Amino acid sequence: MFKKNLANQEKISVVGMGYVGLPLAVAFAEKGIEVIGFDINEAKIQEYKNGHDATEEVGDERLQKITNIKFTSNPEDLKEAKIHIVAVPTPVLLNKMPDLRPIKGSSEIVGKNMVEGSIVIYESTVYPGATEETCIPILEKESGMKCGVDFKIGYSPERINPGDKVHRVENIVKVTSGMDAECAEIIAQLYEQIIVAGVHRATSIKVAEAAKVIENSQRDINIAFVNELALIFDKMGIDTQEVLEAAGTKWNFLPFSPGLVGGHCIGIDPYYLAYKAEELGHHAEIILAGRKTNDGMGKYVAERTVKNLIADGKKIKGSNVLIMGLTFKEDCPDLRNSKVEDIILELKEYGVNVYVTDPIASKEQAMKEYGVELKNLEDMKDMDGIIVAVSHKEYKEMKLEDLKKHFYINGNKPVLMDIKGVFDRIEAEKEYAYWRL
């Protein structure tokens, strides 16, 4: 029953049409497979139907060429498919506990609408054990079927890097797994149709879940290390980037840079692993220490900005500061879990008037997510300080001289905070009270 699905190229559904689900759906469709692209957000579905990709992961031109994806917000359309791929977000709550509501909700929808012989594959990042402990009972309850008899499940963690035009879904090795050998092989073969880089067959669902969650935890810890170095070297009056450049001449020195750590993966996934560890009686000290350091960087940048404004003779309350960049990373419109918000909120605590601009972020989404009204850069005048928070290509192409028209000049050098080191330090220090992380 299950082997027949792959042999006959049954329709597949992708549940969740965001930064992960859309590229996946398009990749399958381009191989001639009929795809049902489902999302509960009707406005998003309508945009895709109109040929517009707001995520910019696929692009309008490529999306408009696809004819075998049925974009829908009607759950009953899922009944047409026998292979379901769930690619919904797994955020954290305000207390940093895992928020499994999206994956539970999608499991309810799939369970209510799947047919006998279905295979459900989860791509959402979770702690080891979540797929089997949380999702199977929901699927069984809603479908009235028995897992392993009437349907099967697998797990293949997403490895999408939003905004990355080089490492795409097709050329990143895919980790796959299934609840038994038969299911695991079907899932591996399914992904092999679209993944040029090949697949890695994990020995179990828990192994695949664990592999995914430690990928981002490892990166988070490494960035936390260089962020802590940046805090130390700042107090010493040493330029962190120059230190890293010198240390990087050794062949085995890892190339990480300091900065704000946000987004929907690195800034969130470690909390899932720490939560499960705590549940088992182990306190994840290194993981949580890294999270604490990275979560505090926005506050540090804001405080450093205030100190530099004071040194420049500015009155803090009522001063005007422009923040350039709101997305969580450069050249990507994704606003989820942007740590630029921490800078904004901290500066407002000091009574600073904060203005924000971003060349690629959605103004509607910025207002919805953070209550931030994005301004046009050209309209920004008389600023007491500027923080270049995100190293967008547009900012990298700017000349230092271009920034002067946005400042209020009082005889002192204007305050320029360059978090990611977009500008040359030596040149910048000639014209600005310049600081970089």
Active site residues: 265
Distance between CA atoms of residues 132 and 155, nearest Å: 10
Whose tokens are 């704000």? That residue is: 260
Q: Are 22 and 48 in contact (CB under 8 A)?
A: yes
- Angle between helical axes of 205-236 and 297-311 (0-180°, round to 10): 20
DSSP reduced 3-state for 357: strand
H helix count then E strand count, the chain: 18, 14
- CA-angle at 353, arms to 301 and 239, nearest 5°: 20
Q: Give the tokens for residue 308.
A: 């530099």
Q: Give the tokens for residue 388.
A: 């270049």
Provide φ and ψ at 366, rounded to 5°: -60, -40
Distance between CA atoms of residues 400 and 221, nearest Å: 33
Q: Are 403 and 386 in contact (CB under 8 A)?
A: yes
| CB neighbour burial string for 217-230, b if at least 16 within 10 angstroms, e if fewer | bebbbebbebbbbb
Distance between CA atoms of residues 170 and 164, nearest Å: 12
Q: Are 240 and 226 in contact (CB under 8 A)?
A: yes
Distance from chain centroid for Cα 202: 24
